[in-house]
Amino acid sequence: MEVLKERFKKKADEAATEIKGILKDHSNDVIGEVTLAQVYQGMRGITGLVSETSLLDAHEGIRFRGYSIPELQEKLPKAKGGSEPLPEGLFYLMLINELPSEEDANTITELLQRRSHVPNHVFDAIDALPIETHPMTMFVVGIMALQTESHFAKEYARGINKKDYWDPVFDDAMDLIARLPRIAAYIYRRKYKNNQHINPNGLLDWAGNFAHMLGFEDEGFMELMRLYMTIHADHEGGNVSAHTTHLVGSALSDPYLSFAAGMNGLAGPLHGLANQEVIKWIYELREKLNTEQPSKEQIAEYVKTTLSEGKVVPGYGHAVLRKTDPRFTAQMEFGKKHMPDDALVQTVWNIYETVPPILQSLGKIKNPWPNVDAHSGALLVHYGMMEYEYYTVLFGVSRALGVLASLCWDRALGQPIERPKSITTDLVKKWLNKEDNIWGD
Ligand code: CMX
């Protein structure tokens, strides 16, 4: 067994024993109550699942296994000559629950390189789609075509013991993470660069090689990809892409099926697709006002028009966060360091100064502050990646690190099929009229 797998198994066994002990003594402890509003309004704030890889605090933002983004930037291994964290290191941290050494991160890079072969039928499946197909659709089709390679699906068909589910799931997770950059780069080069594809460079790290296959050799872009792939990787378990992957995986659908389902969720404009919507929205604003650098007054007017048309301001608001997203701040810092004079980046910063008070004044928006998607596009445009419809694919490649590490934990901890209770409004009315004693009160 490879070292990483052994380490994972040891950690997972320890955790499983610990959880068993906790449940033995505390199974009936109550950890929250549920209101009718929560049931009707997106289950917001209901604690209902375990996701080991990260935890989101409304005011502080995300922590991966206890570490904030600035702490990760300081403590995770870097590429040679670089200053941003290697996403391989974050993956190790999420999977093993320990900070990786440089050697640990390099081991992941090597393992991923070894597993990165993508069979031709995957490219054929993508090629069968019309060129105007959205890149996220191509991405999901590519992942689904790759499902032929699932170790878990094969082992399950052979009758694997349930104690061993985690093992082929682990292999599938590693294979998928290794192969996604190739699939994603293929989609980019097919759709936007005349089908001129670029071979992988085995000397580069995972994110650096992804940048290379996309066609961006600039060291600044490679650094951006390392940061981007790190900060988008995980956002605890309840967001649509993580929760969907977990939910579908709970039916023992293999990691390809589960991750593809999660990516269908990421492709929604209230979730990951917001990163394309932000740039589209800024471009429309610039075009309408015929200026490259709209003033704060012009931005404010445009925000009001957007709201009056019954649309959301993309990149702002969050279901859990109640402060500026630290993932936004990390990208702002990157912008200040690498491109402080970029007109589009400055517009993003002017929007940041303009939008929150307007949203706040509406009185109904719980979080007027920017989320991760408000900034990412402007940094990509700076390096020449103009094709904003592609941006959510980058988010998806990164998100694989978190949700697939989580899927390994789900199976190693023997998490059961997920099946919450739903109700009907008829039943609610009966309960309110005390005609039915459904909840025993
Ligand atoms: N612009 C305009 N209205 C907004 C808004 C925004 N950015 N954010 C929230 N609202 C509105 C909601 O639509 C809702 O309106 P109604 O009561 O009329 O239905 C009201 O404010 C209350 O919403 P909320 O409780 O503050 O927010 P939710 O938890 O329901 O939704 C989110 C969270 C992210 C979907 C929402 O803020 C939004 O639509 N933002 C814009 C899209 C976006 O940036 N999504 C990316 C999120 C990060 C990610 O997953 O990638």
Phi-psi region of 183 (alpha: psi -120 to 50; beta: other; left: phi over 0): alpha
The answer to whether the CB of 314 is under 6 A from ligand 1 is: yes
102 Cα to the center of ligand 1, angstroms: 40
Residues with a catalytic annotation lie at 271, 318, 373
DSSP one-letter code for 423:
-
**Same domain (yes/no): 314, 194:** no
244 Cα to the center of ligand 1, angstroms: 19
Q: Mind listing the pLDDT tens digit for each residue in 180-200?
A: 999 999 999 999 999 999 999
In a domain, 318, yes or no: yes
CA of 181: how far to CAs of 138, 203, 218, 225, 409, in Å?
Answer: 13, 15, 17, 11, 23
Rg of the chain taking only CA atoms, in angstroms: 22
Q: How far apart are CA 259 and CA 261, in angstroms?
A: 5
Number of structural domains, the chain? Answer: 2
Question: What DSSP letter does each residue of 141-163 carry, written as one string?
Answer: HHHHHGGGG-HHHHHHHHT--GG
Q: Mind listing the pLDDT tens digit for each residue in 53-76?
A: 999 999 999 999 999 999 999 999
Q: Is 90 exceeded by the pLDDT of residue 372?
A: yes
Domain enclosing residue 316, as ranges: 275-382
Last residue of a domain, one of 365, 382, 399: 382
In a domain, 185, yes or no: yes
CATH code, domain carrying 69: 1.10.580.10
Alpha helices in 161-295 (DSSP H): 166-192, 206-214, 219-231, 240-250, 255-266, 274-289
100 Cα to the center of ligand 1, angstroms: 36
Q: Which helix (H) or strand (E) holds 54?
A: strand 54-57
**Same domain (yes/no): 306, 186:** no
The answer to whether the CB of 312 is under 6 A from ligand 1 is: yes
The answer to whether the CB of 274 is under 6 A from ligand 1 is: yes
The answer to whether the CB of 56 is under 6 A from ligand 1 is: no
Last residue of a domain, one of 335, 361, 382: 382
Amino acid, res. 398: S
Q: Mind listing the pLDDT tens digit for each residue in 340-359?
A: 999 999 999 999 999 999 99
Confidence at 2, pLDDT banded by 50, 70, 90: confident
In a domain, 25, yes or no: no
Probe target for ligand 1 pocket from 270, 303, 307, 323, with the most ligand atoms within 8 Å of CB: 270
pTM here is 0.98
**Same domain (yes/no): 68, 157:** yes
Residue nearest ligand 1's atom 45 by CA = 270
Interacting residues of 20 by C-beta distance below 8 A, sequence separation 6+: none
Confidence at 224, pLDDT banded by 50, 70, 90: very high
278 Cα nearest atom in ligand 1:
44
**Same domain (yes/no): 125, 181:** yes
The answer to whether the CB of 344 is under 6 A from ligand 1 is: no
